[in-house]
Amino acid sequence: MKKWLFLAIGLVIASMLAACGASEETSGDGGKEKKVLKMATSADYPPFEYKDTAKGDDIIGFDVDLVNALADDLGYKVEIQDMDFNGLVAGLQAKQVDLVLAGMTPTEERKKNVDFTDIYYKAKHMIVSPKGSGIKTVEDLEGKTLGVQLGSIQEGEAKKIAEKTKVKVENRNKIPELVQEMKAGRFDAAIIEDTVAKGYFDKDKELEGFTLDSSEEEAGSAIAFQKGSKYTEEFNKALQKMKENGELEKLIVKWFSKDQK
């Protein structure tokens, strides 16, 4: 009798454990849980990724909307974490994260360490300075201090400028730090992606700038993955789909139109 009692109790426990396991495989709507991918970004780069502190601590922006649309199409869920820009590639190499969206340009140097999708957005470089600085051309940077974000594509562009013009180049981790240094008079100018710079112009009328000649290298943004990642091709196909059906263009209009606040 005891043997049957223990057997019955065992069956009940096994049934309960099986039920628990099943609940972990399903979501609230009865479907399977989406696999979570870890994404890193540098949330100091509006309108690509930033925090609107007046509304909360969530990271928002063009890249966030883009990755969520791609992940939803592919059946994934994305968790986003904020890192310094110069640590993003290292984060992928160390397998701390699965992907990076941060307005990152797929340079030849970066391609040695991580894989990239196709370009999803193109922009140009802009020299930003306090209004009235008299800096209207690259030549006007002679003898000046030029700020740039550490690890960015603009850092390489700043070095090219320094080869032609006697300018001191200094870097900082975050774009707001570059603006702060200009305000404090420690930097005469900074080199920033034009889309991001225009966002600052809208908020701060004491800043101005000019776009570098079209002959200069454009900064194209792509999604970065670990070397040999199975996700690269998946996301690239989904990205191509968004380009073809117009969904990518809708996001571009939402985040980069002149009316965007």
In whole angstroms, how far apart are CA 188 and each of 13, 204, 226? 71, 16, 37
Q: What mean pLDDT is reported for the chain?
A: 86
> How much is the average pLDDT of 71-92?
96
SS3 state at 102 = coil
Give the pLDDT of residue 217.
52
Identify any residues that bridge with 35 across adjacent strands, giving them in sequence order.
76
pLDDT digits (tens, 9 = 90+) for 155-169: 889 999 999 999 999
Q: What percent of the chain has pLDDT over 70?
A: 84
Where do you find CATH 3.40.190.10 in the chain? 35-122+220-256, 125-217
Q: By the 8 A CB rule, do 45 and 102 touch?
A: yes
Overall average pLDDT of the 140-162 stretch: 92
Please determine, for residue 62, whether its predicted confidence score (pLDDT) is greater than 50.
yes
pLDDT in tens, 181-198: 999 999 999 999 888 888
Q: Which residue has the higher pLDDT, 16 or 129?
A: 129
Per-residue pLDDT of 26-60, as tens digits, reads 334 445 678 999 999 999 988 899 998 888 889 99
Tell me if 199 sits within 8 A of 259, measured CB to CB. Answer: no
pTM (whole model) above 0.85: no
CB 245 within 8 A of CB 171: no
Average pLDDT over residues 3-9: 42
Distance from C-alpha of 48 to C-alpha of 39, rounded to nearest angstrom: 14
| Rg of the Cα atoms in the chain | 24
CATH classification for the domain delimited by 125-217, as one of 3.40.190.10, 3.40.640.10, 3.40.50.300, 3.60.21.10: 3.40.190.10
Banded model confidence at residue 4, pLDDT cuts 50, 70, 90: very low
pLDDT > 50? residue 25: no
Q: pLDDT per residue over 230-258, tens digit each?
A: 999 999 999 999 999 999 989 988 887 64
Over residues 205-225, the pLDDT tens digits come to 999 999 997 544 556 899 999
Whether 81 and 39 have beta carbons less than 8 Å apart is answered as yes
Q: What is the mean pLDDT of residues 3-30?
A: 39
Q: Does domain 35-122+220-256 have CATH number 3.40.50.150?
A: no
Q: What is the pLDDT of residue 257?
A: 63
Per-residue pLDDT band at 171 (split at 50, 70, 90) = very high
